[in-house]
């Protein structure tokens, strides 16, 4: 069964900013046109994470937008999220595929050709690749990969590639033109004075990049 993968993943964050909660950011992003919301929270108890994720899942379900939980398969299962995204140090895709419902969307971060091919063979529905540009959203981020490397990864991946890392409204179209199915952003939306406006601007650039490829 082929699963639909969104082109604009907004990852909510309450570390870079404290004006909005995860749920508020999700609502603003959806209003701006985000077709996927990702919940990522590295701190807090499991009970707290379930509470926040449930708020987001309720909101996302009302708008027909999939919620993807980063790292935590248990949280995703607890709230009935549409999907989960695993980093390179998180649960192996093979285990996630075994314990999660068959319809669950599974994304996997991969930085090399070998890891991309392995993640796909293990059952990943899409690959998260980056950082494309330098980013301050993730303290342990690797060096920027650039568009040429992104283009190569998109060529070898037999599934959608979601580019992440330092992508802004000024570079989103170029990333799509390089072959990415879509983008994932954190600070470009969460740290923007008007998250809804920022989301809409990013979506416009994505659509411009898609039109160029046609």
Question: Would you please indicate which residues are annotated as catalytic (active-site) residues?
Answer: 40, 109, 138
With a CB cutoff of 8 Å and minimum separation 6, the contacts of 60 are 26, 30, 37, 66, 67, 82
Question: Which residues are paired to 126 by β-bridges?
Answer: 107
Torsion sign over Cα 60, 61, 63, 68: positive
- The structure tokens listed for 205 are 């650039």
With a CB cutoff of 8 Å and minimum separation 6, the contacts of 153 are 113, 116, 127, 129, 161
């Amino acid at each position: 069964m082929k699963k639909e993968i969104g082109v604009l993943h907004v990852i909510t964050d309450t570390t870079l900013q404290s004006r909005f909660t995860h749920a508020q950011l999700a609502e603003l992003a959806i209003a701006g046109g985000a077709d996927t919301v990702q919940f990522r929270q590295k701190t807090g108890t499991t009970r707290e994470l379930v509470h926040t994720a449930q708020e987001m899942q309720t909101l996302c379900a009302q708008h027909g937008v999939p919620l993807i939980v980063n790292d935590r398969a248990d949280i995703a299962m607890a709230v009935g999220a549409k999907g989960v995204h695993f980093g390179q140090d998180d649960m192996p895709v093979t285990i996630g595929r075994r314990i999660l419902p068959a319809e669950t969307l599974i994304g996997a971060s991969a930085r090399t050709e070998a890891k991309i091919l392995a993640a796909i063979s293990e059952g990943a529905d899409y690959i998260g690749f980056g950082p494309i540009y330098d980013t301050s959203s993730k303290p342990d981020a690797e060096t920027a990969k650039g568009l040429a490397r992104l283009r190569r990864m998109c060529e070898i991946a037999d599934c959608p590639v979601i580019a992440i890392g330092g992508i802004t409204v000024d570079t989103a179209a170029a990333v799509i033109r390089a072959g990415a199915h879509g983008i994932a952003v954190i600070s470009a939306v969460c740290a923007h004075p008007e998250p809804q406006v920022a989301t809409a601007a990013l979506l416009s650039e994505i659509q411009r990049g898609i039109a160029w490829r046609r």
